[in-house]
Amino acid sequence: QLQKDLEEVKELLTNATRKRVRDVLVAEKQKLELEIKNQPLPKPKDVAEEEKSSLGGYTVKINNYGWDQSDKFVKIYISLNGVQKLPAENVQVNFTERSFDLLVKNLNGKNYTMTFNNLLKPISVEGSSRKIKTDMILVMCKKKREEKWDCLTQVEKESKEKEKAAYDTADPSEGLMNILKKMYAEGDDEMKRTINKAWVESREKQYKGDIPMDI
Q: Residue 204 pLDDT more than 80?
A: no
Q: In what order do the strands lie in the sheet with 99-107?
A: 58-61, 110-116, 99-107, 91-96
Residue 70 and residue 36 in one domain: no
Domain with 98 in it? 57-141
- Any residues with CB less than 8 A from the CB of 175 and at least 6 apart, and which? 167, 168, 169
Mean pLDDT of 98-104: 95
**Domain membership flag for residue 153:** no
Q: What is the pTM of this model?
A: 0.53
Q: Is residue 156, in this structure, part of any structural domain at all?
A: no
The CATH number for 18's domain is: 4.10.860.10
Neighbours of 139 (CB within 10 A): 22
pLDDT at 39: 67
Instruction: For residues 28 and 99, state if they share a domain.
Output: no
> What pLDDT does 136 receive?
96
Note whether residue 211 is domain-resident.
no
pLDDT at res. 4: 78
Measure the CA–CA gap between 103 and 12, rounded to whole angstroms.
Answer: 57
Rg, Å, the chain Cα set:
35
Of residues 202 and 106, more confidently modeled:
106
- H helix or E strand, kind and range, residue 64: none
All residues at 6 or more sequence positions from 159 whose CB lies less than 8 Å from its CB, including other chains:
none
Q: Is the pLDDT of residue 116 over 70?
A: yes
Q: Do 131 and 105 fall within a single domain?
A: yes
